[in-house]
Amino acid sequence: MTASPIAPPAVLDALIVGAGPVGLAAGCALRAAGLDVIVADAGPAARALDDARVIALSAGSRDILRTLRAWPASGSTPIRRIHISQRGHFGRTELRNEDYGLDALGHVAQLGTLVRALRERAQALALDVRHDTAVGAARADGEVMRVPVGGTDVTARVVLWCEGRITDDEALSRTRDYGQHAVIALATPVRAHDSVAYERFTPDGPVALLPCGRDYAVVFTCASADSAALLAETDAQFAARLAAVLGERVQFSAIGPRSAWPLALRMRADIVRGHEAWLGNAAQTLHPVAGQGLNLALRDVAQLADCLLPALARHEGGIDSALQRYARLRRTDRAATGGFTDALVRLFGLGADDAALGALAGHARGAALALLDALPPARRFIGRRMMFGARAWP
Ligand SMILES: Cc1cc2nc3c(=O)[nH]c(=O)nc-3n(C[C@H](O)[C@H](O)[C@H](O)COP(=O)(O)OP(=O)(O)OC[C@H]3O[C@@H](n4cnc5c(N)ncnc54)[C@H](O)[C@@H]3O)c2cc1C
């Protein structure tokens, strides 16, 4: 989608910076309420469609995308079981859809498929989405923001930053470089996957297999220093590496192209300021273990729409207090989800450099997994928080 032929109104209700899944979802949510919105992205339109990331979407995310009428039903694959284990130690557990009374624990979709569904919805709503459009620094001017967009000054009542990264290091409250990369690829299993996902923890980081169409999406975490070597391996070498980690569980007949992604935790301290808010990866970038980043971001979008729409509809000010309320309501979910993913990476990485500590930690983790397996209520507790975030806190 390129620039709208219709000139935007003198004062937009919202300018959204970034047309990734989060910017588009926010744009659709506001536009569906009849607001005047521009979504401006610095990159070309084709880039997001080619994004190789494959996303595990929770049941809660599916609800949100369905409400937005942007659920890619035919482009998603259900997950009915998640098998969790650790390499080299005892202990395993399995999350099952029937334990939650759901048809699926979640669904898997390629990021490009999700973006395509959101763009189709945006088009149906006549949402103004612009690519190859640079956005400059925003300046507060009374009750509005003034922002250079593609060489023209735009005036908006609120600016939502969804540019997929936190550029200002001073704005961070938490940061951790895990020294890891995720090498990702689609791989065809020899036997049908039956909607079973795997999360296997290794001393170098977690390895996940997500059912995606008839393939598995592989997320193979490795030390950053090793990622170039993993990309350079032949398909047979990479398949052997997977077999070494996964054992007999899954074997592959073909491996698709690989790409590598650096992994870090970066949390923004303040996600609102005046008439500006930061959402998605522009608010927090998480390790992909347990697939939480976009799920958390979609909960951001749903909450933001709830808080902001009444204030934007009233035209009587109150936008800053609506955004403050949004930030307050997001505090628990952001902290819990960021903390959970960080704890998981560190817990399962404990002892990676020390054999004795590694053995001890491995036994402790094995006991925890075995306990979890033996305690359905504890399993349900964890599963519900992964699927619905803070909405599921008792
Ligand atoms: C390997 C891997 C696996 C993952 N798996 C999962 C998973 O299973 N489940 C899950 O929930 N999450 C997962 N995630 C996280 C998920 O990919 C992100 O949370 C999600 O893509 C964030 O979306 P976003 O729209 O905030 O950012 P992006 O998808 O990065 O989009 C940002 C957009 O902003 C544009 N932009 C950038 N800079 C500017 C600028 N200056 N001006 C204007 N536009 C700009 C870009 O062109 C882009 O279109 C994974 C991440 C990785 C790395």
Residue 289 Cβ < 6 Å to ligand 1: no
Band of residue 41 on the pLDDT scale cut at 50, 70, 90: very high
Per-residue pLDDT tens for 178-203?
899 999 999 999 999 999 999 888 87
Task: Residue 119: count other Cβ atoms within 10 Å of its Cβ.
Answer: 20
Residue 55 Cβ < 6 Å to ligand 1: yes
Alpha carbons 26 and 15: distance in angstroms, whole number = 10
Look up residue 283 and give its two tokens.
């608010």
Least confident of 3-7, 258-262, 266-270: 3-7
What confidence score (pLDDT) does residue 371 get? 58
What confidence score (pLDDT) does residue 5 get? 47
Instruction: Using alpha carbons, select from 15, 264, 258 the residue that is nearest to residue 154.
Output: 15
Q: Check if the beta carbon of residue 241 is closer than 8 Å to that of residue 221.
A: no
Residue 221 Cβ < 6 Å to ligand 1: no
Per-residue pLDDT tens for 86-123?
766 556 788 888 888 889 989 999 999 999 999 999 99
Per-residue pLDDT tens for 130-149?
999 999 999 999 999 999 99
Look up residue 14 and give its two tokens.
């919202």
pLDDT at 389 over 90: no
What confidence score (pLDDT) does residue 329 get? 96
365 C-alpha vs ligand 1 centroid, how far in Å? Answer: 31
Higher pLDDT, 279 or 315: 279
Domain range list for the chain: 12-77+107-172+264-344
Q: Check if the beta carbon of residue 307 is closer than 8 Å to that of residue 368.
A: no
Q: What is the DSSP letter of 274?
A: T
pLDDT at 375 over 90: no
> Which residue has a Cα nearest atom 48 of ligand 1?
20
- Please give the single-letter amino acid code of residue 339: G
pLDDT at 381 over 90: no
In the predicted model, what is the mean pLDDT of residues 313-338? 92
Look up residue 191 and give its two tokens.
């036997």
Pairing of strands 259-268, 139-141: unpaired
Q: What is the DSSP letter of 350?
A: T
> Which residue has a Cα nearest atom 53 of ligand 1?
261
Residue 298 Cβ < 6 Å to ligand 1: no
Indicate the class that CATH gives domain 12-77+107-172+264-344.
Answer: alpha beta
- Please give the single-letter amino acid code of residue 58: S
Instruction: Using alpha carbons, select from 94, 71, 73 the residue that is nearest to residue 84.
Output: 94
Residue 56 Cβ < 6 Å to ligand 1: yes
Higher pLDDT, 178 or 291: 178
Residue 22 Cβ < 6 Å to ligand 1: yes
Query: Tokens 């550029």 sit at which residue?
Result: 167
Q: Which residues contact 258 (CB under 8 A, 6 or more apart)?
A: 183, 184, 185, 230, 231, 238
What confidence score (pLDDT) does residue 249 get? 79
183 C-alpha vs ligand 1 centroid, how far in Å? Answer: 16
Least confident of 25-39, 134-148, 152-166, 358-372: 358-372
Look up residue 200 and give its two tokens.
């296997």
277 C-alpha vs ligand 1 centroid, how far in Å? Answer: 16
Residue 184 Cβ < 6 Å to ligand 1: yes
Alpha carbons 288 and 290: distance in angstroms, whole number = 6
Residue 338 Cβ < 6 Å to ligand 1: no
Least confident of 62-71, 305-314, 341-350, 357-366: 357-366
237 C-alpha vs ligand 1 centroid, how far in Å? Answer: 29
Half-sphere exposure of 139 (CA within 13 A, CB side): 8
| DSSP SS3 for 81 | strand
Half-sphere exposure of 30 (CA within 13 A, CB side): 29
| DSSP SS3 for 249 | coil
361 C-alpha vs ligand 1 centroid, how far in Å? Answer: 33
What confidence score (pLDDT) does residue 394 get? 39
What confidence score (pLDDT) does residue 99 get? 85
Average pLDDT of the chain to the nearest whole number: 88
Look up residue 17 and give its two tokens.
């910076």
Band of residue 342 on the pLDDT scale cut at 50, 70, 90: confident
Specify burial of residue 55 (Cβ count, 10 A radius: 0-12, 13-18, 19+). Answer: buried
In the predicted model, what is the mean pLDDT of residues 62-68? 96
- C-alpha 18, offset from chain centre: 15
Alpha carbons 95 and 199: distance in angstroms, whole number = 11
Q: Check if the beta carbon of residue 152 is closer than 8 Å to that of residue 9.
A: no
pLDDT at 390 over 60: no
Alpha carbons 156 and 350: distance in angstroms, whole number = 48
What confidence score (pLDDT) does residue 3 get? 47
Band of residue 368 on the pLDDT scale cut at 50, 70, 90: low
What confidence score (pLDDT) does residue 382 get? 63
pLDDT at 2 over 60: no
Alpha carbons 38 and 114: distance in angstroms, whole number = 20
Residue 219 Cβ < 6 Å to ligand 1: yes
Band of residue 6 on the pLDDT scale cut at 50, 70, 90: low
pLDDT at 47 over 60: yes
Partnered with residue 196 across adjacent β-strands are 81
Best of 1, 24, 58, 163 for a ligand 1 pocket test (most atoms within 8 Å of beta carbon): 163
Alpha carbons 392 and 60: distance in angstroms, whole number = 10
Per-residue pLDDT tens for 147-165?
999 989 999 999 999 999 9
